[in-house]
Structure 1
Amino acid sequence: MAWFDDIYYFTTGRLRIAHVTDSHLFAQRNGEYFSVNTAVHFSECLADISQQDIDCLVFGGDLTQDHSAESYFLFAQLIAESPLQCPVFWLPGNHDDIALLTRISGGQIQHHKRLKFNTAEVLLLNSKGPTPAGWVSAQHLNELTDVLTDNTAPCVCFCHHNPLPINGYLDKHILENGPQLLNLLVNNGRTQALFHGHVHNEHQWQFRDLNIYASPASSIQFLKNTAQWQQQNKGPMYRIVTCNSAGINQPFEFSTEVVCLNG
């Protein structure tokens, strides 16, 4: 089955998305990543999102820190225990195993990578490469090209890796063919914004006329503008993306904000 074959349909002209990324869970609930209990931070994000007017959650990758199967089961268990009612979609990060992500999919956790609403859509991309750095395969680029040329509806995209340098430590694990992906998105003319995780902080810039946003991690943040790996505990964090698609020949609009739960 090709990556974008299954489509999830929303019957609304507005879609509000919670972008939660880089949870770095362990097999045990008490696992700590640089002295932060990541399961607690992730659960606090889920609880806060459940109080928002949110249609779906997109998990942006790096579910696991210890690469254990149990960490994936904990992810599913934390979602099941939370008050969150909306569907949860995922895309893989460099730490993740796609087979294990697929294994926990079912019910509230969905495997779809193409989300349609009214006259617009959301695409969840696979930037997982053979190393911690990102790479979008030729096959995936071809599949994405086919989807983008399928119609003229506006879309927003999500991936895990940063496609451009951020002047930070994680640039050593950048999306290595990021410019190729970005030029594809811009040249097609449909993509309004690209959101990613991986860099453990919020960033915003443009590539040509494409808006690019990095979302902060639910676990910990990495200090900006330094080549040194310095961690900051700012409490659980996530991003909200609101997309409005009024209909054919109507302007597509989106807005976004970062939510910080100072724990």
Structure 2
Amino acid sequence: MAKPSQNGTSRGADGPVHVLHVTDSHLFAQRTGRLLGLVTYDSLTAVLAAAAAEPPDMVLATGDLAQDGTAQAYAHLAEAFSGFAAACPLPPPVYWLPGNHDEPAVMRATLTCAPLRPETEVVVGGWYIILLDSTVPGEVGGALSEDELARLDAGLRAHADCPALVCLHHNPVVTSARWMDDIGLANADAFFAVLDRHPQVRGVLWGHVHQAIDLERQGVRLMASPSTCIQFKPETVEFGLDPSAPGYRRLWLYPDGRLETRVFRISNFAGCADPDATGY
């Protein structure tokens, strides 16, 4: 197992570590590429501009960062995050993981320049944060391989004294958008079996569902965040879009293991998705 990155921050040294969670940006090789009518590069940069008003200590980007998995799409992603970092007094590192629309090999080859970081685990402010790959080649739904489950178990065991935040792309719990449940994490029971062996786990964070979720399971906070582009309609059986604006989540991780979080939406964004779309 690779040694976790040690990312000390001035804010995390005497207070909470401030984490920005962004997910599901769905960028294209063409910067003007649209997802159901929405220019996804524009919505991502609008989200990052809003988030830069309160600069975080670090960023977690949890998959489907590209829609077409091309090197050029990831170049646009790197450009957007470089601009974001330049707007922050202390450029925050950006840790990422793949989603089902991504090409992990292309990501590893292209997302190599600061502020983007390749590490899949980090210790910051006394917290252990691990990023998992829940993608299955050729599938929309996800699952954690035996190797990833073993890596999770070993990482939590090695950092038993640190409160932990576990990140992945696919939803490990059912949602109110029932059509998403068939393409969530197929082996969620195995995932939670690992977590249940490690009482220091404080939170699980994911994307994929394009909506805000905040639940609790056995004292563990379970959180999904809005997409930086289109939003999926809750309380549905079939695919539908929600008119809510693109968004992001902030988390504050305290040295004593407390976790606070809040979802934000951008305002005054002119772009909008096709309300009559039946899928993508």
Q: Is TM-score (shorter-chain normalized) higher than 0.5?
A: yes
2:254 is paired with a residue whose SS is strand
Corresponding position of 2:40: 38
Corresponding position of 2:273: none
Alpha carbons of structure 1 residues 9 and 81: separation in structure 2 relative to 1, 3 Å: closer
Question: For residues 62-81 of structure 1, what are the structure 2 equivalents within 5 Å?
Answer: 62-81=64-83
Instruction: Give the letter for the 2:257 counterpart.
Output: F
In the alignment, does 2:160 pair up with 1:147?
no
In the alignment, does 2:236 pair up with 1:226?
yes
Alpha-carbon contact 2:204-2:221 (below 8 Å) kept: yes
Give the structure-1-normalised TM-score: 0.92
Please give the alpha-carbon distance, in whole angstroms, between the structure 1 residues aligned to 2:44 and 2:217.
31
Alpha carbons of structure 1 residues 5 and 227: separation in structure 2 relative to 1, 3 Å: farther
1:75-120 Cα distance to aligned partner (Å, 9 max, x none): 1122223325211110111111112211222221101122212432
Q: Which moved more, 1:83-92 or 1:55-64?
A: 83-92
In the alignment, does 2:168 pair up with 1:163?
no
Alpha carbons of structure 1 residues 28 and 193: separation in structure 2 relative to 1, 3 Å: same
1:152 Cα offset (Å): 2.2
**Structure 1: tracts of 5 or more residues without a match:** 246-250
Corresponding position of 1:257: 262
Corresponding position of 1:15: 17
1:23-53 Cα distance to aligned partner (Å, 9 max, x none): 0111112111111111011001111222114
1:210-240 Cα distance to aligned partner (Å, 9 max, x none): 2201111001110002121111342220000
Q: Which moved more, 1:182-191 or 1:219-228?
A: 182-191
Corresponding position of 2:133: 126
**Number of residue pairs matched by the alignment:** 256
Instruction: Give the letter for the 1:141 counterpart.
Output: L
Alpha-carbon contact 2:211-2:225 (below 8 Å) kept: yes
Alpha carbons of structure 1 residues 160 and 234: separation in structure 2 relative to 1, 3 Å: same
In the alignment, does 2:210 pair up with 1:200?
yes
Give the structure-2-normalised TM-score: 0.87
Q: Which moved more, 1:190-199 or 1:10-19?
A: 10-19
Alpha-carbon contact 2:58-2:94 (below 8 Å) kept: yes
CA RMSD of aligned residues (A): 1.5
Please give the alpha-carbon distance, in whole angstroms, between the structure 1 residues aligned to 2:240 and 2:141.
19
Please give the alpha-carbon distance, in whole angstroms, between the structure 2 residues aligned to 1:154 and 1:81.
31
1:188 is paired with a residue whose SS is coil
1:165 Cα offset (Å): 1.1
